Structure 1
Amino acid sequence: MLPGFSIAWRSPVGFILAIVIFAVLQSVLAPWLARVAQRNAPAFLGGIGIVSTFVALVVTALIPGAGLTIGLPWSTWIVAPMIVWVVTAIAAFLLPAVLLKKKVQDRRES
């Protein structure tokens, strides 16, 4: 879908490693960057999600065997974090609603 961006789907270890590394980095970087921005540059708080996504993707891509490769063209380095960030934001918005709907439905049935 995006030239220069690839995930090693056929290597289960690399794929899982890429997901785990990215998720851990994202969960650590986002709050840390938010605290740093809040103290030093509050105007940047809105962009923390995209910045932490970019940094997490870069670090994951740099780890050999992680199953994630980001190459040329350079626009891939800009577009890939945006796509991942948007998909993550949509999932974070919709997932609780889906899970909550299921819980409500389960309670109504019982």
Structure 2
Amino acid sequence: MRFLLSLVSHVISAAAALLIANWILPQVTLRVSGFVVAVVVFAVAQSVLGPFIFNLARQYASAVLGGIGLVSTLVALWVATLFPDGLTITGLGWALAPLVVWIATALGGWILMGLVFKRTLQKHDQGKKGAS
């Protein structure tokens, strides 16, 4: 249950983050026709690349561990732009979009998991204890 809620939280926060970046950064374009693909590709890429990049940095460049979230967000955004008719980033957007998307996904995940899904998880855990 926790994994499923985490997955839902990640996809929702990724969608919101990409919409926010599209809204506030003129260099970021998110097309309606490719919205779902862009969100899914970004969310999967960030989920897979985040731990991989963290392990690489921990092993070879521990001084940059604090910026790993930004680096994995940048790489995930780049991967999402490889799929046509979804996400396009140009110019200064490559510097600003990772920051905007990273902040939005972090806040979105915290809000969804910490505030919204917390009750669901508590009810689920109590149901498990009651059934034992």
**Structure 1 residues 39 and 105: CA distance shift in structure 2, 3 A:** closer
* Aligned positions, number: 101
Matches within 5 A, 1:65-104: 65=85, 67-71=86-90, 74-98=91-115, 99-101=117-119
1:63 CA drift (Å):
2.2
Give the partner amino acid of 1:92.
G
Distance (Å, rounded) in 2 between the aligned partners of 1:6 and 1:25: 19
1:90 CA drift (Å):
0.6
The share of aligned pairs that are identical, in percent, is 44
1:92 CA drift (Å):
1.9
The answer to which structure has the higher helix fraction is 2
Give the match's secondary structure for 1:6.
Answer: strand
Give the match's secondary structure for 1:63.
Answer: coil
Over aligned residues, Cα RMSD in angstroms?
1.8
Q: Which runs of 5 or more structure 2 residues have no equivalent in the other structure? A: 1-23, 127-132
2:36 aligned partner: 16
1:60 to 80, 91, 99: 80
Q: Under a length normalisation based on structure 2, what TM-score does the superposition of the two structures give?
A: 0.69
Q: Which runs of 5 or more structure 1 residues have no equivalent in the other structure? A: none
Distance (Å, rounded) in 1 between the aligned partners of 2:122 and 2:51: 31
Between stretches 34-43 and 91-100, larger displacement belongs to 91-100
2:52 aligned partner: 32
Give the partner amino acid of 1:8.
R
1:5 to 12, 28, 31: 28
